[in-house]
Amino acid sequence: MLIRIMLHRASHAGTILLRNHQKCSTVWRETRHCSALVYREHSHNIDTVRMEQLLLPPVGDRSVRVHMLAAPVNPADMNMIQGSYPILCPLPAVGGNEGVGEVIEVGSDVTSLRPGDWVVPIDAGFGTWRTGAVCEEDEIISVPKDVSLLGAATIFVNPCTAYRMLHDFQTLTPGCTVIQNASNSAVGQAVIQIAAALGLKTINIIRDRPNCAELIDELQSLGADYVVTEEEEVPKPKLGLNCVGGLKNEKIFFIFSYEGTMVTYGGMAKRPLQIPAVSLCSSCTVFYFLVCTKNHKEQLKAMLNAVCDLMRGGQLSAPHCIQTPFHQYTHALQATVQSHCRKHVLIM
Ligand SMILES: NC(=O)c1ccc[n+]([C@@H]2O[C@H](COP(=O)([O-])OP(=O)(O)OC[C@H]3O[C@@H](n4cnc5c(N)ncnc54)[C@H](OP(=O)(O)O)[C@@H]3O)[C@@H](O)[C@H]2O)c1
């Protein structure tokens, strides 16, 4: 037992001593292989995603070995598997675009990271649904370890998107109002909290559902000023965040068609965006987070620190989510394509 604990510690610290101990095959495999959720074709059938054992390359001078800790299943991940996302990975591919891992081993020329650091990938297509990875130093960035594991696993795509949208399109001073749809999404929850921290008011549109009152309470407890269903009337905002696209958003367009900006950042309804002529007088724009961040590591670091500060200050929490053991991935993938479902985070 003691020997097993020592070997586990050694492997966790990236020690290669196990190469000469072929009997310890489990630890050997953990160091040299990883389990990963691989898809070999684009399909709406979730069965095409399978857990496979992958061989990891040795750590080079500028590369880093990472043990993945937790990774969410986001709608964009599913769209990539389905082949309907603007960015597609060469096949076969490992699923998952965000998540947090711990650095196990670094190459001799790596300067920005060391073993024990928590890291997140900075571009789409990393393939985070895996137990381990070897990647280049500049593919990942460290995140502070004093935020929660779920917070770190979900920090990059959604809270940073919310942060950018609230800072980059309008000068929003305390008292300004932001309207958004899909307000219960992970982005929506981050918008509510960051807006509240900035002193902004939020009008939050959700789809009607059987447990609507419960969801309204939940969003209000995050700091939402108004929570209304798509059928209800809403007050006049300054900034509109459109996650849904499609026809039902005419309401959003008309509401701020004389002043304010509308930012479209998602297309959950999978319907073409239709803009009434009157709304063309106002400012409408499309936002894509990765395009604005991936080549600016210093700015990215500053933004991550700002988002982490909000987390530490209790002003921003991880989205309400369900933690799913890695081997139960099928359940998490199936749930993500259902309506009214909480986000799932795979725990490796
Ligand atoms: N542009 C960017 O850089 C960027 C960055 C991050 C995210 N996004 C996009 O933002 C969207 C939300 O991502 P997320 O991770 O926050 O999602 P999420 O937490 O999984 O939430 C999904 C949201 O979409 C709503 N929804 C699902 N199907 C819908 C439909 N047919 N019509 C209307 N609403 C529907 C859900 O409402 P119910 O609860 O009622 O089902 C829920 O509010 C995705 O489209 C994602 O790709 C874009």
pLDDT in tens, 195-231: 999 999 999 999 999 999 999 999 999 999 999 998 8
CB 69 within 8 Å of CB 100: yes
Active site residue 258: no
Strand bridging mode 93-94 / 63-73: unpaired
Instruction: Enter the pTM of the model.
Output: 0.89
CA distance 196 to 308: 16
The model's pLDDT over 92-123, given as tens digits with 9 standing for 90+, comes to: 999 999 999 999 999 999 999 999 999 999 99
Residue 138 lies in a domain: yes
What are the distances in angstroms from CA 327 to CA 30, 139, 182, 304, 333? 16, 26, 29, 30, 12
Flag whether pLDDT at 70 surpasses 90.
yes
Q: Are 227 and 280 part of one and the same domain?
A: yes
pLDDT of residue 298: 86
Residue among 187, 273, 343 whose CB has most ligand 1 atoms within 8 A, to mutate: 187
CB of 339 sitting under 6 A from ligand 1: yes
CB of 201 sitting under 6 A from ligand 1: no
Q: Are 21 and 136 part of one and the same domain?
A: yes
Q: Are 133 and 198 part of one and the same domain?
A: no
How close is the Cα of 139 to the center of ligand 1, in Å?
Answer: 26
Last residue of a domain, one of 156, 176, 203: 156
For residue 112, give the CATH number of its domain. Answer: 3.90.180.10
CB 244 within 8 Å of CB 220: no
Ligand 1 atom closest to 85 (CA): 47
CB of 343 sitting under 6 A from ligand 1: yes
DSSP strand E in 181-270: where? 201-206, 226-229, 239-242, 261-264
